[in-house]
Amino acid sequence: MVIILEKNATEGQIEDVIRHLESYGFQVHKSTGVERTIIGAIGVQPNFDTRKISILDGVSEVYRITTPYKLASRSFHEENTVIKIKDVEIGGNKVVLIAGPCSIENEDQIFRMAKVVKDAGGRILRGGAFKPRTSPYSFQGLGEEGLKLIRAAADENDMLVISEVMQIDHIELMEPFVDIYQVGARNMQNFSLIKELGKTTKPVMLKRGIAATIEEWLMSAEYILSSGNRDVFLCERGIRTFEQYTRNTFDLSAIPVVHKKSHLPIIGDPSHATGLRDQVPPMARAAVAAGADGLMIEIHDDPENALSDGPQALLPSSFTKLVDELRLIARAIGREL
Amino acid sequence: MVIILEKNATEGQIEDVIRHLESYGFQVHKSTGVERTIIGAIGVQPNFDTRKISILDGVSEVYRITTPYKLASRSFHEENTVIKIKDVEIGGNKVVLIAGPCSIENEDQIFRMAKVVKDAGGRILRGGAFKPRTSPYSFQGLGEEGLKLIRAAADENDMLVISEVMQIDHIELMEPFVDIYQVGARNMQNFSLIKELGKTTKPVMLKRGIAATIEEWLMSAEYILSSGNRDVFLCERGIRTFEQYTRNTFDLSAIPVVHKKSHLPIIGDPSHATGLRDQVPPMARAAVAAGADGLMIEIHDDPENALSDGPQALLPSSFTKLVDELRLIARAIGREL
Amino acid sequence: MVIILEKNATEGQIEDVIRHLESYGFQVHKSTGVERTIIGAIGVQPNFDTRKISILDGVSEVYRITTPYKLASRSFHEENTVIKIKDVEIGGNKVVLIAGPCSIENEDQIFRMAKVVKDAGGRILRGGAFKPRTSPYSFQGLGEEGLKLIRAAADENDMLVISEVMQIDHIELMEPFVDIYQVGARNMQNFSLIKELGKTTKPVMLKRGIAATIEEWLMSAEYILSSGNRDVFLCERGIRTFEQYTRNTFDLSAIPVVHKKSHLPIIGDPSHATGLRDQVPPMARAAVAAGADGLMIEIHDDPENALSDGPQALLPSSFTKLVDELRLIARAIGREL
Amino acid sequence: MVIILEKNATEGQIEDVIRHLESYGFQVHKSTGVERTIIGAIGVQPNFDTRKISILDGVSEVYRITTPYKLASRSFHEENTVIKIKDVEIGGNKVVLIAGPCSIENEDQIFRMAKVVKDAGGRILRGGAFKPRTSPYSFQGLGEEGLKLIRAAADENDMLVISEVMQIDHIELMEPFVDIYQVGARNMQNFSLIKELGKTTKPVMLKRGIAATIEEWLMSAEYILSSGNRDVFLCERGIRTFEQYTRNTFDLSAIPVVHKKSHLPIIGDPSHATGLRDQVPPMARAAVAAGADGLMIEIHDDPENALSDGPQALLPSSFTKLVDELRLIARAIGREL
């Protein structure tokens, strides 16, 4: 922590600041300049509330000099994390393709969709069993029955399953059916839930909260990592801004930033980011071009009758065409898909 | 729902839109102008995903013409909701004062703080037993022990207790100890949790999510109301914006807007909104002047050693002085405190 | 400036950083901790682009330790600036009332409105002669003719005139007619314009840009101050956020923050902040309660036929009633109006 | 315009609304449903302030049903606008490359940079002669001398020149030297300036304001188009959001949205969007993948000593490597570069 004193801070105030820092366990370095005094405080409390110092008399500014996360940071773990599940790698040179319907609706649908994804080269099948909807009057998912269906559909196609976990008691219920737990944007800071996921042995995909800074997102990853589970990857899905012509603003600059700050893989979800099918292909292409380690895309072969989010689902034919373009883009930057 | 067709929409496209609307159960009114056709669709699905129509060919714009919430809306319930708990009313002419420490730390502390609040005229004691912290390394609350302490402290002073509920299995655990369940900003869209709270018989204070629109906030209230619990009040606690000199932007304009759109009471939380003690008094005064039905304020008599959020806690003396000013402001606009 | 090196920065990298700092004219203090090296760089370049250091190898974080503005800062000028124009003071204990129509429409209108403002106790008359409208098809103002009318209306009532200046060649044109130049939100960073205003001898009211941080706002004030004009006051008028039920988010927390960081007076404009007449009174009251040094309010006695912004104009009767409430609130916090 | 009446609106209120609409010149269609009355108002005032209706008694919601811009909209002009300047086309199948230094610093520098751009296949040279800086203490540009230098450097390499125009009296001054006028983000709503540019005969590149919605951006384009100049193209350069790890959020979803709503070309500026050199290549690639009609990239061969924005300038070698990748990505989506 670095503390900048006010220009006119008195000796008494400076001593009081130092006394406080020492009482909080920091090692203190005072450096007196011509105009101002600067204090460096070295310590081991990554989560120290710096406001405790900023409210002291004579203090002008306080800067935390370490990131509040540790296990998630690139400086703790220089090499990229590569998560291996059976023969699928997330975070390696190959861009991973996750696709499937928003909700698991019935057996036929999930089996049809699994085949579409598989044929296009996807190895991970997505599908929601518990639907967190803004409206209490909307379809809320098939529950456990849905999980059984998606597992069967994935198995038939030699694929992995990812599905969203909504509450703590779902973790155990979902365990036999999924390969990856998905944490939705609204639960990114549901600390009770993510701490429990940190105790499981399956990988977790952590979506960015709609208004979460990258730092908060990495702090939530830290919750999972520090509870023991090191297989975490991130998913950018759009942030909330003032713009109204788009549903969310797909923050693709988060991709190079996360790659710099952290060793964790990061993928993009253009379906939720844009909310409208015709914007999915350009944004999917942009995500791969920006360096995403994977994509998660929603598809449906009868979007008009989809039980949720039909308007953002790609038709199988558009999906297949898109994957061809993505393959070329991946190659242009030295990766595969 | 009102659908505006493209200027050059063909007859076939218009018919297709009408066919879709009818299949979704809407009653359709077509109105052909010189330049464009407009279709009115009357129906009973408040949560209809309007994107289903906006992606049809020939459609230019689609407007939902009803709010997606119903029970929470002023047009459903014209009179202000006044929540009565023993002899305390929330939403009446009297501005309600809720105060106490951020966390319940120990017996002495919560009893001392209860007395401060009571002496200043407050009737509801706040204090957290389960602390949702951004960092996994921070103090996480006293749990059930804390709840017992705050209940005892409130009882001794003839006060009510409000405390935050973090997860579903806390609801039952907290039931014997609290008079009001608080839902924190991060859980505003934890639909699993709020649906369960809708089944309880105790009032719920619903904080606004840091990036929640007022509409989403009222939709979350709708979840609780539609599950059976009609005693819901709202708490504005600051939203996230681009500004960095403040922790959050305290959105006081939400107060008159909520009063117009909804019958539910709304209070303000200047402590979390600003995050720094010296900004709490001006923002508390502003909230009352803007028409808030109450305030929630954090206090601590030894903020330097507070286990959480010390920097935003008011000292008892400042709190008492502030309440005197608030009383005058309430009177200036025809209310009491 | 404080530079935090990476944990694994090499000696060579550290030396290179020091060499760069010295070449930019900084005095360097190196402080080697157990885990990291921290470098303090003391210098006289308030506007140094810190990114020049952050891109060097081995650098983890860079913090500017001084504000980029100087003349506008409280540490440069401890006492509140009080701007005196004839017998009116802006920034003193008395809350200043500025009011009038959005646009000057004709002689009758501006004379009627001047009388309303005067009778309510206002001393400064506002009215636009050049209207910066979002649409090229809207009313663009009466120009010089309007300025003559507002000057005459103010003179008859012993009032001052404030009007918006839109472009450099308006400065001279407006000089004979106005007492205060208003810089609109869209011109807050029109540096060509504000630099010229810095060379005039009349006070300048600088509105906050719709997406300007408080720091950028004070930087724009610095442009004017550093060009020689010390009579600058600020006007908060709402910022852009994700919320859609309100036109802007009236950032009242800016008031205590500006008072802390700067010595310049700050007033509030609830008319533009909310955009709708029925939200103006609660937000006007909140601004005074938050400590604003003044208010700017739009009024119109025939808002339906107003040539601009009629929907946000208060009727004279509501305005008079509001001023009575404001007077009580000012008194509650030890001020007058 | 579509007006939704309140459920309990009286006949008198409805008639009053209709009377108002007719007095504003609208043709009115009333449609009475079971629960509510809806009024369609057809008229020719694209810029009508809908708040005039929303404040009338009995009105629940008002929706504008036409975009407020006309000449800029795709429905007015179905074909893509392709701007031709000599043998360069902006908005055609070929992705246009604009590059050069942030500021023109001296003769050598601009000639060296022109050659780098030309060799990589760029046809338009950028360089600022008037620098709008946040700080009054920073380098403010070479002015007319700079314009002469960039013109000469471009001529020697058979290139076009783009440079930023900051104020009205620069338009004439710049005319002999530039092929394209650039309007910076801070001037997007400097209506005085853009109206004048609408009277020139040279193309205008309009950058998006840092907090401008896409609709406002198109409205500013409308100002130029409606003043007579039809050669306008847009430049996305990042918007302001809550995220702090990036300088701006590069809103790439604006690209498909603009292509849908408008016929005007749109390019991306990853240099200003990210502000840091190492994020420029991924974001440049993403912009092309998202369908941008061009890119504007800042380069410098001695960024440490650049007079402005050195940290975001690419070195010539990185620039050349990037252009090779961009060429492959353009091809992957059926375009050239």
- The residue type at B163: S
Asked if residue D127 belongs to a domain, the reply is yes
Residues 6+ apart with CB under 8 A from C189: C209, C212, C216, C220, D132, D134, D186
**Alpha-carbon span A328 to D77, nearest angstrom:** 33
| pLDDT band (50, 70, 90) for residue C182 | very high
Of B242, B244, C47, give the one whose Cα is nearest residue D133: C47
Paired sense of beta strands C88-90 and C83-85, if any: antiparallel
Are B247 and B299 contained in the same domain? Answer: yes
pLDDT attached to residue A41: 82
Residues of D in contact with C276 (CB under 8 A): 51, 54-55
> Measured between CB atoms, which of D2, D8, D33 is closest to B42?
D33
State the sign of the Cα–Cα–Cα–Cα dihedral A134, A136, A142, A143.
positive
pLDDT > 70 in chain A, percent:
95
**Alpha-carbon distances of A274 from A298, B133, D239, D332, rounded to whole Å:** 12, 31, 17, 22
Paired sense of beta strands A160-164 and A180-183, if any: parallel
Are D231 and D314 contained in the same domain? Answer: yes
Residues of A in contact with B309 (CB under 8 A): 49
> Measured between CB atoms, which of C4, C29, C63 is closest to A31?
C29
Are B316 and B213 contained in the same domain? Answer: yes
pLDDT attached to residue B137: 67
Residues 6+ apart with CB under 8 A from B46: A135, A137, B66, B67, B68, B69, B70
Paired sense of beta strands B96-100 and C180-183, if any: unpaired
Are D115 and D152 contained in the same domain? Answer: yes
pLDDT attached to residue A34: 65
Asked if residue C144 belongs to a domain, the reply is yes
Whole-complex ipTM: 0.89
**Alpha-carbon span C242 to B50, nearest angstrom:** 20
| Inter-chain touch A245–D213, beta carbons under 8 Å | yes
How many angstroms separate the CA of residue D52 from the nearest CA in chain C? 6
Mean pLDDT, residues C224-230 = 94
**Alpha-carbon span B179 to C116, nearest angstrom:** 50
Q: What is the DSSP string of B19-63?
A: HHHHHTT-EEEEEE-SS-EEEEEE-S-TT--THHHHTSTTEEEEE
pLDDT attached to residue B55: 83
Find the closest chain A residue to C4 by CA distance. A65
**Alpha-carbon distances of A156 from A123, A150, A159, rounded to whole Å:** 12, 10, 8
Residues of D in contact with C51 (CB under 8 A): 275-276, 310-312
**Alpha-carbon span D220 to D204, nearest angstrom:** 12
Instruction: Indicate whether C145 pLDDT > 80.
Output: yes
Instruction: Indicate whether A148 pLDDT > 90.
Output: yes
| Inter-chain touch B34–D40, beta carbons under 8 Å | no
What's the start-to-end Cα distance of chain A, in Å? 43
**Alpha-carbon distances of A302 from A299, A305, A309, A333, C232, rounded to whole Å:** 9, 6, 11, 34, 62
pLDDT attached to residue D45: 66
| pLDDT band (50, 70, 90) for residue C45 | low
In this structure, are residues D265 and D72 in contact, taking their beta carbons and an 8 Å threshold? no
How many angstroms separate the CA of residue D179 from the nearest CA in chain B? 36
Are D46 and D191 contained in the same domain? Answer: no
pLDDT attached to residue D64: 76
Residues 6+ apart with CB under 8 A from B155: none
**Alpha-carbon span B247 to B238, nearest angstrom:** 8
C-alpha radius of gyration, chain B, whole number: 23
Residues 6+ apart with CB under 8 A from B12: none
Are D17 and D126 contained in the same domain? Answer: no
Chain segment D182-227, per-residue pLDDT in tens: 999 999 999 889 999 999 999 999 999 999 999 999 999 999 999 9
| Inter-chain touch C134–D189, beta carbons under 8 Å | yes
Q: Report the predicted TM-score, pTM, of the whole model to 2 decimal places.
A: 0.88
| Residue with more model confidence, C315 or B70 | C315
How many angstroms separate the CA of residue D334 from the nearest CA in chain A? 9
**Alpha-carbon span D307 to D303, nearest angstrom:** 9
| Residue with more model confidence, D138 or C294 | C294
- Parent domain of B323: 83-332
Q: What is the DSSP string of B69-82?
A: -STTBTTT--SPP-
Q: Any idea what the CATH number is for the domain that residue A111 is in?
A: 3.20.20.70
**Alpha-carbon span D216 to D24, nearest angstrom:** 24
pLDDT attached to residue A28: 85
Structure tokens at A326: 């993505």
Chain segment A227-274, per-residue pLDDT in tens: 999 999 999 999 999 988 888 999 999 999 999 999 999 999 999 999
Are A48 and A185 contained in the same domain? Answer: no
**Alpha-carbon span B145 to B134, nearest angstrom:** 23
Are C316 and C168 contained in the same domain? Answer: yes
Asked if residue A271 belongs to a domain, the reply is yes
pLDDT attached to residue A297: 97
What's the start-to-end Cα distance of chain C, in Å? 43
How many angstroms separate the CA of residue C2 from the nearest CA in chain A? 8
Are B57 and B9 contained in the same domain? Answer: yes
Judging by beta carbons within 10 Å of its beta carbon (0-12, 13-18, 19+), is residue A294 exposed, middle or buried?
Answer: buried
Nearest-5° Cα angle at A303, A299 to A307? 95
Residues of A in contact with C34 (CB under 8 A): 42
End position of a domain, from candidates C29, C63, C97: C63
Structure tokens at C77: 């000028």
- Cα dihedral D206, D212, D218, D223, rounded to 10, equals -70
Nearest-5° Cα angle at C137, C131 to C139? 35
B164 HSE (CA, 13 A, CB side): 25
Residues of B in contact with C234 (CB under 8 A): none
Q: Which residue has the tokens 């007033």?
A: C267
Are B14 and B114 contained in the same domain? Answer: no
Asked if residue A75 belongs to a domain, the reply is no
Structure tokens at D252: 């790439």
Asked if residue D218 belongs to a domain, the reply is yes
Instruction: Indicate whether D134 pLDDT > 90.
Output: no
| Inter-chain touch C332–B333, beta carbons under 8 Å | no
| 3-class secondary structure, A17 | helix
Of B119, B100, B42, D210, give the one whose Cα is nearest residue C239: D210
Q: Any idea what the CATH number is for the domain that residue C58 is in?
A: 3.30.70.1140
| Inter-chain touch B304–A132, beta carbons under 8 Å | no
**Alpha-carbon distances of C325 from B268, B289, B321, C319, D174, rounded to whole Å:** 21, 10, 21, 10, 55
| Residue with more model confidence, A334 or B5 | A334
- Rounded to 5 degrees, what are φ and ψ at C230? -95, 0
> Measured between CB atoms, which of B61, B242, B244 is closest to D65?
B61
- For residue D158, the tally of other CB atoms under 10 A from its CB is 10
| 3-class secondary structure, C190 | coil
Chain segment C67-111, per-residue pLDDT in tens: 778 899 988 888 999 999 999 999 999 999 999 999 999 999 999
Are B288 and B165 contained in the same domain? Answer: yes
| 3-class secondary structure, C185 | helix
Residues 6+ apart with CB under 8 A from C161: C124, C125, C126, C127, C150, C151, C154, C177, C178, C179, C180
Q: Which of B28, B42, B55, B247 to mutate to test the interface with D (most CBs of D within 10 A)?
A: B42
Instruction: Indicate whether C64 pLDDT > 80.
Output: no
In this structure, are residues B202 and B179 in contact, taking their beta carbons and an 8 Å threshold? yes
Asked if residue A200 belongs to a domain, the reply is yes
Return the number of CB contacts < 8 Å for A and C. 58
Full strand arrangement of the beta sheet holding D27-32: D27-32, D37-42, D2-5, D59-63
Instruction: Indicate whether A149 pLDDT > 70.
Output: yes
Asked if residue B188 belongs to a domain, the reply is yes
| pLDDT band (50, 70, 90) for residue D44 | low
Count of domains observed in chain C:
2
Average pLDDT, chain D: 91
**Alpha-carbon span C337 to C319, nearest angstrom:** 14
**Alpha-carbon span D162 to D151, nearest angstrom:** 9
Judging by beta carbons within 10 Å of its beta carbon (0-12, 13-18, 19+), is residue C44 exposed, middle or buried?
Answer: exposed
Orientation of helix D316-332 relative to helix D280-289, angle to 10°? 20
pLDDT attached to residue B61: 81
Instruction: Indicate whether C26 pLDDT > 90.
Output: no
- For residue A1, the tally of other CB atoms under 10 A from its CB is 20
Average pLDDT, chain B: 91
Asked if residue A261 belongs to a domain, the reply is yes
> Measured between CB atoms, which of C49, C134, C304 is closest to D216?
C134
Find the closest chain D residue to B32 by CA distance. D29
Full strand arrangement of the beta sheet holding B37-42: B27-32, B37-42, B2-5, B59-63
Are C221 and C112 contained in the same domain? Answer: yes
**Alpha-carbon span D222 to C31, nearest angstrom:** 57
Instruction: Indicate whether D31 pLDDT > 90.
Output: no
| pLDDT band (50, 70, 90) for residue A51 | confident
**Quick one: three-class SS letters along chain D?**
CEEEECCCCCHHHHHHHHHHHHHCCCEEEEEECCCCEEEEEECCCCCCCCHHHHCCCCEEEEECCCCCCCCCECCCCCCCCCEEECCEEECCCECEEEEECCECCCHHHHHHHHHHHHHHCCCEEECECCCCCCCCCCCCCCCHHHHHHHHHHHHHCCCEEEEECCCHHHHHHHCCCCCEEEECHHHCCCHHHHHHHCCCCCCEEEECCCCCCHHHHHHHHHHHHHCCCCCEEEEECCECCCCCCCCCECCCCHHHHHHHHECCCEEECHHHHHCCHHHHHHHHHHHHHCCCCEEEEEECCCHHHCCCCHHHCECHHHHHHHHHHHHHHHHHCCCEC
How many angstroms separate the CA of residue C296 from the nearest CA in chain A? 26
Of A239, A317, A254, A245, give the one whose Cα is nearest residue A279: A245
Residues 6+ apart with CB under 8 A from D325: A332, A333, D281, D285
